[in-house]
Amino acid sequence: MTYFNAVHVSVIMTLNLWGSRILKPIFSCVLVNGRSKGQFATGSFCYLSAALLICSIFSHRLYAQEQDTCFVFHEQQNDTPLSLTLNQIKRVPVKQFTNHLSVACHVKEQSVLIINNNAIRKASLHIEHEEQQKIAANKLVFVLPQGQYNASLVLDAERDFSLTLVRKTWPDYALAGQQHNLLLGLFYGLCITLVFYLYVMGRSLKDKRFHFYCYYVLCAGIFFLLQEGNINLFFDANLTNNIRLNLLFAGLTVFTGTIFVVTLLGLQRRWSRFTRYVVMYPAVFVLGVSIVLCFLPRGEWFTLLAIIMARTTMAVLMCTFGLIAYASYVRVHTARLVLLASLTVCCAMVFRIFLGDQSPFLQRYGLLFSFAIESFLLAIATSERIKRINQEKILAQAQAMTDPLCEIFNRRGWEEAAEKIVKNHNTQQGILCLLYIDLDYFKEINDNFGHKAGDQVLRIMAKIIRKQMRDQDAVGRLGGDEFVALAQFEDERQSEILRERVTKRLKNINISTDSAQIRVTASVGCVVFSDNEISVSEMLQKADQAMYMSKRENQDKTCS
């Protein structure tokens, strides 16, 4: 650089000296004719000097640029050679199978050649008939030494596509590699954490939605791992760059993602025929084609099936997106979150395909970021969906165990609650007190005042019995006018107090209904158990006998 500067400065000084010798007589003559003409000559001399200076600087830069560039020429296509300068992205069309590229370099310092190798099976670079060693990296990287030389680049492509070539200096390449590995490390860490979390949650909750989501994240993570080429650091690039593996995990990602969305939103239950024939079966077809391509040799059939798989995948994605949008429109729970997640990925795909040249950073990492955002949104949607379903199950179970008329346990619910109390009694010991309550002359109430009045009597009696018991006690209606209440105490004195309180409260009750004022009495049978071998059915049988004894005593008192 110093040498070229010195040459250009000497040239400028020489031109200025010549200009002064030539223009000096003219300038003297002009001074005689007038001052204005002298000023004109002086200005012309300054413009000429400036023009010469600009031309010299431009020629120096042009010459220096030509000294630090490489030219790439595709021998089989006879295209115009491409100038490969530092940090500039160049695209070279390549054909399927073997491609020979000639590289002519005249570089001042050592640099690296980076090749986008998503569809390259094998690659070799020969400089002066000597093969260059590849650098272990996520892409194909070769070292370009300093100097002037000719090289031959041989590529074995899986398909027709535009190859991306970039030449960078060592510091720029190292910095870009660190940033790339950091971002992908964060992404893969997110995927691994999410996979383990979903697997554990699926096992603990026994919910298949978590399992489908786990499979989807796992397949998508492996697909991105193959696409980005980071696995090349550990395995042979010929294996990881195999388009068959990429297509296989692309098919698995489409299949597992479709199954997960359909299961999460319950699309097959809502629109069974459309979901089955337009979404599910095509997703299975995509997976089947990806498996077939793993065993099919390269050729016309391989290319044709790959195109069919790509178009079917786009159709599945569009139909699934339409179903999600319609589910969001009809207010299916969490459908809007799933729609937002799908929109994020769709926007990233559109940007990568049509607007990738606007931002190389987003073109490379936009899809990864969108998948991370999608995973976060889908995790929220899955949790909310399962929470809603569990709440519905709990509500359904509560309704199945609750008497709809009296709003206390029905027979099934009471027996389950009683089993828990008995189990707790077997552990902690104590006394079990069971009350069996039957309304006296309830049939006559229905006959005289109607079933509506009878229902009102049952509801009021259930509230009275419930208020006499504690919150931890089990109160239920076995059917008709029969009620039961089970409580656990530490000694028999507490059970006796309960029996007396309930019997006294139910002895003589005046209930106001819509039709009349009704006097109601009830017979209470009370049994106490202290042993651990008693069952709920045996307790009911003995309490029922005690209740009939109490009813006969009440009838005898009434008759007397």
Secondary structure of 411-429 in HEC code, one letter for each residue: HHHHHHHHHHHHHHHHHHC
Amino acid at 282: P
Query: What pLDDT is attached to residue 30?
Result: 38
Per-residue pLDDT of 452-473, as tens digits, reads 999 999 999 999 999 999 989 9
Name the residue with higher pLDDT: 35 or 87. 87
Residue ranges of the domains in the chain?
A: 2-66, 69-171, 173-397, 411-559
Beta strands per DSSP E along 176-239: none
Query: What would the mean pLDDT of 274-280 be, rounded to a whole number?
Result: 91
Query: What pLDDT is attached to residue 292?
Result: 93
pLDDT over threshold 80, residue 3: no
Query: What pLDDT is attached to residue 291?
Result: 94
Burial class (CB in 10 A: 0-12, 13-18, 19+), 362: middle
Token couple for 426:
């077997």
- How many Å separate Cα 552 from the centre of its chain? 70
- 69-171 and 173-397 share one fold: no
pLDDT over threshold 70, residue 387: yes
Name the residue with higher pLDDT: 106 or 243. 106
Query: What is the sign, positive or negative, of the torsion defined by CA atoms of 223, 226, 230, 236?
Result: positive
CA dist 351 and 523 (Å) reads 79
Name the residue with higher pLDDT: 191 or 355. 191
pLDDT over threshold 90, residue 184: no
Query: What pLDDT is attached to residue 349?
Result: 80
CB 425 within 8 A of CB 511: no
Give the CA dihedral 74, 75, 79, 84, nearest 10 degrees: 40
Query: What would the mean pLDDT of 393-411 be, rounded to a whole number?
Result: 87
pLDDT over threshold 70, residue 23: no
Query: What pLDDT is attached to residue 488?
Result: 92
Per-residue pLDDT of 147-162, as tens digits, reads 899 999 998 887 788 8
Query: What would the mean pLDDT of 173-183 be, rounded to a whole number?
Result: 84
Query: What would the mean pLDDT of 282-293 be, rounded to a whole number?
Result: 94
Query: What pLDDT is attached to residue 54?
Result: 56
Backbone φ and ψ of 513, nearest 5°: -110, 180
pLDDT over threshold 50, residue 24: no
Query: What pLDDT is attached to residue 43?
Result: 53
Of the listed ranges 16-25, 136-145, 154-163, 415-424, the least confidently predicted one is 16-25
* Strand (E) or helix (H) holding 109: none
Query: What pLDDT is attached to residue 441?
Result: 86
Per-residue pLDDT of 185-215, as tens digits, reads 888 888 898 899 888 888 887 888 888 999 9
Beta-carbon contacts of residue 249 (< 8 Å; ≥ 6 apart):
219, 222, 223, 226
CA dist 458 and 474 (Å) reads 17
Query: What pLDDT is attached to residue 283?
Result: 94
Other Cβ atoms less than 10 A from the Cβ of 416: the count is 15
Query: What pLDDT is attached to residue 461?
Result: 92
Percent of the chain past pLDDT 70, that is, above it, reads 83
pLDDT over threshold 70, residue 1: no
CA dist 105 and 296 (Å) reads 40
CATH topology for 173-397 is: Rhopdopsin 7-helix transmembrane proteins (1.20.1070)
CATH numeric code, 69-171: 2.60.120
Q: In whole numbers, what is the pLDDT of the chain averaged over residues?
A: 81
CB 368 within 8 A of CB 361: no
Of the listed ranges 114-128, 148-162, 315-329, the least confidently predicted one is 114-128
pLDDT over threshold 60, residue 538: yes
Amino acid at 480: G
CATH numeric code, 411-559: 3.30.70.270
Query: What pLDDT is attached to residue 351?
Result: 78
pLDDT over threshold 80, residue 167: yes
Beta-carbon contacts of residue 492 (< 8 Å; ≥ 6 apart):
431, 528, 530
- How many Å separate Cα 251 from the centre of its chain? 17
Query: What pLDDT is attached to residue 126?
Result: 92
Query: What pLDDT is attached to residue 560?
Result: 47
Query: What pLDDT is attached to residue 8?
Result: 39
Name the residue with higher pLDDT: 221 or 20. 221
CB 360 within 8 A of CB 89: yes
Token couple for 97:
């199978």
Query: What pLDDT is attached to residue 371?
Result: 86
Query: What would the mean pLDDT of 54-60 be, rounded to a whole number?
Result: 48
